[in-house]
Amino acid sequence: MRSGRLAAVAAAAMAVAGLTAACGAPAGVAGVSSLPSVPRAEEPPPETPDGAVAAPKGGGAVGDSDHMRSVIPPPAPDPVRLPPPKVSAYTYAFPVKGCRVSYARQLLVLPKTVIWAGKGCAFVSPVNGVVREVNVQNRWVPSTDRGQDREGRYVTVLGEDGVVYLGGHLDSIEPDVRPGATVKAGQRLGRLGNSGNARDTASNLYFAISWPAPPEYWWIRRGMVEPWDYLDAWYDGNRTLSPKKAVFALRKRVGKLPACDRLCTAKTPPTTKSGAVEKADTTTKTRASGRRQNQPEDEPTMVTPG
């Protein structure tokens, strides 16, 4: 009797255990395991809550494998550098030739730039054209700081594109450069220096772009259009990129002879105890002959009429 009761209790316990396991197991479909799956190496990575594919652990790229990393591109010839498209009818030259240069590409006070290079480096015409103005005297003095004298020795060229280009702070000007002379792009017009208000700086070229105006409107020739995009193109890019459109669009907007609006007023010159006023260096320098010739102070600078 006792053994029969024990057998009945054991059977009941087994039945209860079976029911409990059946209730606790996840529901499934016949023939499909209801146990948690074990991730495999080739399975895609899980998605993040926003639907994006999560990066695999270890920082590797999705789909990255040894055979993909070992792919080597087939051999091929070096790429051919094609010439830039011709965007105007004019061909330009960078205004400093044969020297290492640097220049600012931002507007400081005036829409011009200063091209830094060694003393004596060649200033060349940026385009085919005609010499318009030539100033062979260095009249600037800090006591007066006259605007029309700040560029020191300078040359302006009226290009065949109708644009005026100024190169200032020159040390010397070629003896055959005269108003009315025809020049070609890349032709030497002078040598870099630090005349004008650059006398306490390193040698450089004051470079400006504008349109034709009478000499008394000197603030126009000192720069109206920012030049650095064109300088970049002429130096190592497209030598046919022309400032003509920008120059004449600005002239149409502001007028042919706009008023001076910055750095316009000269200083009142101080006098010494003897009543003398500081004088400018009016020495004319020519690079070709290597001589210095003193000129009378009242001798006019070579300038073409407006």
The pLDDT value recorded for residue 6 is 54
Please write the tens of the pLDDT for every residue from 95-135: 999 999 999 898 989 999 999 999 999 999 999 999 999 99
The pLDDT value recorded for residue 171 is 98
Q: Please report, for the chain, the start and end positions of each structural domain, with discontinuous segments joined by +.
A: 96-266+279-293
Please write the tens of the pLDDT for every residue from 132-145: 999 999 999 999 99
* H or E, element range at 137: none
Q: CATH assignment of 96-266+279-293, given 2.30.40.10, 3.40.50.9100, 2.70.70.10, 3.60.15.10? A: 2.70.70.10
The pLDDT value recorded for residue 41 is 47
* Whether the predicted model's global pTM rises above the 0.85 cut: no
Where do the H-state alpha helices sit in the chain? 2-24, 66-69, 218-221, 228-236, 244-254
| pLDDT at 65 > cutoff 60 | no
The pLDDT value recorded for residue 161 is 98
More confident residue, 7 or 101: 101
DSSP 183: E
Please write the tens of the pLDDT for every residue from 30-45: 444 455 554 544 455 5
**What separation in angstroms does the CA of 243 have from each of 89, 154, 166, 231?**
12, 21, 14, 10
